[in-house]
Amino acid sequence: MSKLILIVEDEPDLVENLDYNLRREGFEADAALTGQQALARLHERPLPDLIVLDLMLPDLSGFEICRRVRADQTTRHIPILMLTARGEDHERVEGFEAGADDYVVKPFNVRELMLRVRAVLRRSEGPDDAPALDQVSFGRLRVDFPAVRVWIDDEPISLTALEFRLLETLFTRRGRAQSREVLLSDVWDIQADVMTRTVDTHIKRLREKLGPCGPYIETLRGIGYRFCATPPDL
């Protein structure tokens, strides 16, 4: 079944261009020209599999829409790719802090954008019949990296593509301290000197979703974070 992409963009010509290229790549596409239209569409079914979101809309900012999507239990799992002419470091950081999974600056290469769409979708969902190979158990946590799936006490949990990438980065380096600067570079691909709470915000969200396994991610004051080397008794 084709993946459904919701385009949230107020420029009709760009919407037409994105719709054409997404459908040419085998996706289904829907569009909203304002933030309110986008939020209304998210109360309909089927839900989109990914949102391509402009920041500069006539009514609501893309940042606000992103925050609302992440705050709603029914939509928080939907990956968001921000597509905007605003490419300053602090704006990219704000986008990731709001909950975006990827950030593409206009003007963009269509082929690169399609590859990024596929990459975000691939990270956000694994097939239901994925084999058990390559699954790693760690205490009460079980992760299938190829299938992008996570379980706690054999109960599946839903992570966004970015949250899974953050978990994978920390987990594969367990027992080793990771500074905020290293995580910004390796998870968000941001080389920025701006002050940011991006890492802290996403660590908090990830811990909340991991529930009883949240303490596996340790805070190192003045340094950053570390995934514990061995499972603690919880």
Residue 32 has φ and ψ, to the nearest 5°, of -135, 130
Kindly report, residue by residue over 33-77, the tens digit of the pLDDT: 999 999 999 999 899 999 999 988 999 999 999 999 988 888 988
Tell if the pTM clears 0.75, that is, is over it.
no
Q: Is the pLDDT of residue 13 over 90?
A: yes
Out of 72-76, 94-98, 107-111, 222-226, which region has the weakest mean confidence (pLDDT)?
Answer: 94-98
* Residue 11 confidence (pLDDT): 94
Amino acid in the structure at residue 179: S
Q: What is the mean pLDDT of the chain?
A: 87
Q: Where are the alpha helices (DSSP H) in the chain?
A: 12-24, 35-41, 62-71, 89-98, 110-124, 161-172, 180-187, 198-210
* pLDDT > 90: percent of the chain: 54
> Is 71 or 17 the better-scoring residue by pLDDT?
17
Of residues 87 and 53, more confidence is placed in 53
pLDDT, position 140:
94
